[in-house]
Amino acid sequence: MSKISPSKGAPYARIMGVGGYRPTRVVPNEVILETIDSSDEWIRSRSGIASRHWASPEETVAAMSIEAAGKAIADAGVTPEQIDAVIVSTVSHFKQTPAIATEIAHGIGAGKPAAFDISAGCAGFGYGLTLAKGMIVDGSAGHVLVIGVERLSDLTDLTDRATAFLFGDGAGAVVVGPAKEPMMGPTVWGSEGDKAQTIRQTEPWTAYRDGGRPEKFPAIAQEGQSVFRWAVFEMAKVAQQALDAAGIGPADLDVFIPHQANMRIIDSMVKTLKLPESVTVARDVETTGNTSAASIPLAMERLLATGKAKSGDTALVIGFGAGLVYAATVVTLP
Amino acid sequence: MAATQEEIVAGLAEIVNEIAGIPVEDVQLDKSFTDDLDVDSLSMVEVVVAAEERFDVKIPDDDVKELKTVGDAADYIAKHQS
Ligand SMILES: CC(C)(COP(=O)(O)OP(=O)(O)OC[C@H]1O[C@@H](n2cnc3c(N)ncnc32)[C@H](O)[C@@H]1OP(=O)(O)O)[C@@H](O)C(=O)NCCC(=O)NCCS
């Protein structure tokens, strides 16, 4: 057996910078009421959502990602050439191949980085973050761009009362790079495939080929109550496990950034985790809706931009959704 | 040991108080969760899970919709507790 040189990485990894892109068009609940029988009051009380952003035809998955990535790279104080890998998490890019990550990498002027897409629903950002950390510590990349991006308005059935008001569009990005001390805790992640049907695409794309056109364009459908129960009770446990794994008690925590699915889920998790008043909680869902993989970096960017959180703060992030899948970790904010 | 109906109602009252802030004495057998106690469909999920833990019962999602009143929930728990 020949001796193989080991790869040499950084001792630890950290999030160095964050950036976001929100589509120009703001869609208030009144617009949603044009297609479903509901009320502004009901939508606000059940979800906390008042408005969301929907992308225009020009605000493509790639265009939004390039905007968010440019900001994250500038915030990190690196150059596009220093990006060695681009990981894009999305479920709403409608071309199977090539991966949208390569177009985005080219679009930001990154040279020839490794580039690929992942599909992990609303946990996609945490999955990407975990891969990036491994790549930095392993030495296969010096800096990794992790992007969560969605155009969920393309996958929304506007006549479905259970989902029409929930989803929004946008892109969030971070640059992960080397660190001298631990600034990203262990990830607690997993999947529960026995619940694969609770959040799902209504029809496979091949329905268009086999047996003619489906009545409606495929959309995301869900069993709202089952998902709510799972999110509120099972995910609070996962969040606690991530705190424990990082050796962080609720009093050591500055910021809580859960996936922005529903304000009621966020409120309930805060209660179950017994987070003290001093912890800043991301409540971006009110004006952004659920943007799946983009929701955590978008919320992180806004908390930092508005001064509600600051660089160096200790944050618990948890993503959860279609799969069902989840990922939680404690990070130091950039 | 299985809880009596009285214990179940008292337990439900504490849970509803904790989740929706309704005074415990208002939680009576004939009260509807949504119409009288300000427990909407999502709070009801929280009530159900708290009740599952407290009374050692399983209340599947499909059965939750049938539990309209405090009495419905108390009967369900009495019947299903182990
Ligand atoms: C979608 C969600 C808000 C729906 O709330 P819900 O309480 O489960 O809604 P239900 O379908 O049980 O309906 C409850 C009542 O509201 C009514 N209702 C449902 N949708 C409505 C709407 N859009 N507007 C007004 N009323 C509505 C129903 O008719 C029902 O009324 P009834 O009790 O008189 O029959 C909620 O289930 C949810 O957010 N779940 C989590 C989903 C999620 O976040 N998924 C993504 C995770 S990544």
Whether B2 has a pLDDT exceeding 80, the answer reads no
If interface means Cβ-Cβ distance under 8 Å, which residues of chain A face chain B?
A: 45-46, 223, 225-226, 228-229, 232-233, 264, 268
Whether B9 has a pLDDT exceeding 80, the answer reads yes
Q: Measure Cα distances from A63 to A70, A99, A146, B78 in Å.
A: 11, 14, 15, 58
Whether residue A195 has its Cβ less than 6 Å from ligand 1? no
Domain A188-332 classified CATH 3.40.47.10? yes
Strand runs (DSSP E) across A55-153, as ranges?
A: 85-89, 114-118, 144-151
Q: Which residues of B touch A225 (CB under 8 A)?
A: 41-42, 45, 61, 64
Q: Closest residue of A to B20, CA-based?
A: A268
- Give me the mean pLDDT over the A136-146 stretch: 97
pLDDT of residue B72: 93
In chain A, CATH 3.40.47.10 covers: 12-179, 188-332
B45 touches chain A (CB under 8 A): yes
Q: Which residues of B touch A233 (CB under 8 A)?
A: 49
Copy the structure tokens of residue A192: 């529960």
Whether A213 has a pLDDT exceeding 80, the answer reads no
Give pTM, 2 decimals.
0.94
Q: Measure Cα distances from A41 to A49, A264, A287, B35 in Å.
A: 10, 14, 15, 16
* ipTM score assigned to the predicted complex: 0.89
Whether A228 and B40 lie within 8 Å, measured CB to CB: no
Which CATH architecture does the domain made up of A12-179 adopt? Answer: 3-Layer(aba) Sandwich (3.40)
- A290 flagged as catalytic: yes
- A262 flagged as catalytic: no
Among A38, A39, A230, A233, the residue to mutate for chain B (most B Cβ within 10 A): A233
pLDDT of residue A281: 98
Whether B1 has a pLDDT exceeding 70, the answer reads no
- Give me the mean pLDDT over the A83-104 stretch: 96
pLDDT more than 90, % of chain A = 94
Whether A225 and B49 lie within 8 Å, measured CB to CB: no
pLDDT of residue A81: 97
pLDDT in tens, B28-81: 899 999 999 989 999 999 999 999 999 999 999 889 989 999 999 999 999 988
Q: Ligand 1, residue A224: give the atom nearest the CA.
A: 37
Q: Which residues of B touch A46 (CB under 8 A)?
A: 40-42
Q: Mean of the per-residue pLDDT values for chain A? A: 96
How far is the centre of ligand 1, averaged over its atoms, from the C-alpha of A208 (Å)? 30
Chain B from 56 to 75: CB within 8 A of any A CB: 61, 64
Whether B45 and A45 lie within 8 Å, measured CB to CB: no
Backbone angles phi, psi at A77, to 5 degrees: 75, 30
Cα A156 from Cα A167, distance rounded (Å): 7
Band (A207; pLDDT cuts 50, 70, 90): confident
Whether A214 has a pLDDT exceeding 80, the answer reads no
Spell out a b/e string for A246-278, using b for 16 or more CB atoms within 10 Å of the CB, else e.
Answer: beeeeeebbbbbbbbbbbbbbebbbebbebeee
Residue B46 has its nearest CB partner, among A46, A226, A232, at A232
Whether residue A262 has its Cβ less than 6 Å from ligand 1? yes
The least confident of A74-88, A117-131, A216-230 is A216-230
- Give me the mean pLDDT over the A273-286 stretch: 96
pLDDT of residue A95: 92
pLDDT of residue A289: 97
Whether B45 and A223 lie within 8 Å, measured CB to CB: no
Whether residue A122 has its Cβ less than 6 Å from ligand 1? yes
pLDDT more than 70, % of chain A = 100
Higher pLDDT, A97 or B4: A97
Band (A148; pLDDT cuts 50, 70, 90): very high
Contact B18, B50 (CB under 8 A): yes
Q: Ligand 1, residue B42: give the atom nearest the CA.
A: 7
Q: Closest residue of A to B61, CA-based?
A: A226
Whether A330 has a pLDDT exceeding 70, the answer reads yes
Question: Residues near B8 by Cβ (< 8 Å), separated by ≥ 6?
Answer: B55, B73, B74, B77, B78
